[in-house]
């Protein structure tokens, strides 16, 4: 009896965001960083800065049957600074290939909505532990969150690299 040729499984080609929603499940929420610290601004800084100050970043990557979306939010007000770095992990039953435009739409319409409650809770609980008034991060309605420019590899590493230790100030290897 002749042997059947073994073929590698073919990746499922995802054409639109609806197909991606149908193909994946949210399988994990990973907390990469959560911190709050009191900030003692100088008088000149208080005069110059417009509070609150926010900076948000998003990292995305595909790994076989997984698609990962990492959201990092930094929020500063007159009393403190907070960082919440949360990753939403979605998994398919088989390897998938997805156009970047579909991934970006999924990030904006689905993944961010899954991660945002964790970001809000992280910042709120950090403020509570510091015994400072907790900032209320407003509601984000569908369509209000949109991605900015795609980061270069160096910019992505700087935002999400997790390579510097608080103790040494040097890259961890």
d(CA 118, CA 137): 12
Domain spans in the chain, listed from the N-terminal domain onward? 26-135
What pLDDT does residue 60 have? 87
Helix (H, G, I), strand (E, B) or coil at 93: coil
The pLDDT tens digits for 128-140 are 999 999 998 887 7
Reported confidence tier of residue 159, pLDDT bands at 50, 70, 90: low
Return the CATH fold of 26-135.
Bacterial Protein-export protein SecB (3.10.420)
Q: Token pair 């400072």 is at which residue? A: 132
**In whole angstroms, how far apart are CA 167 and each of 34, 87, 153?**
17, 25, 26
Q: Structure pTM?
A: 0.79
What average pLDDT does range 36-60 have in this prediction?
A: 91
The pLDDT tens digits for 14-39 are 889 999 999 999 999 999 999 999 99
């Amino acid at each position: 009896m002749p042997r059947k040729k073994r073929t590698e499984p073919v990746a499922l080609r995802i054409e639109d965001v609806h197909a991606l929603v149908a193909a994946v499940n949210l399988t994990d929420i990973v907390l990469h960083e959560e911190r709050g610290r009191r900030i003692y601004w100088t008088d000149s800084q208080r005069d110059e800065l417009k509070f609150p100050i926010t900076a948000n970043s998003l990292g995305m990557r595909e790994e076989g049957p997984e698609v990962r979306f990492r959201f990092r939010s930094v929020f500063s007000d007159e009393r403190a600074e907070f960082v919440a770095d949360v990753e939403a992990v979605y998994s398919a039953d088989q390897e998938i290939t997805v156009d970047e435009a579909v991934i970006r739409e999924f990030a904006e319409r689905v993944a961010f909505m899954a991660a945002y409650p964790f970001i809000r809770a992280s910042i709120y609980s950090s403020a509570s532990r510091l015994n400072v008034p907790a900032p209320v991060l407003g509601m984000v309605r569908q369509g209000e969150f949109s991605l900015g420019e795609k980061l270069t590899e160096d910019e992505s590493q700087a935002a999400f690299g997790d390579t510097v230790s608080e103790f040494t100030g040097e890259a961890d290897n």
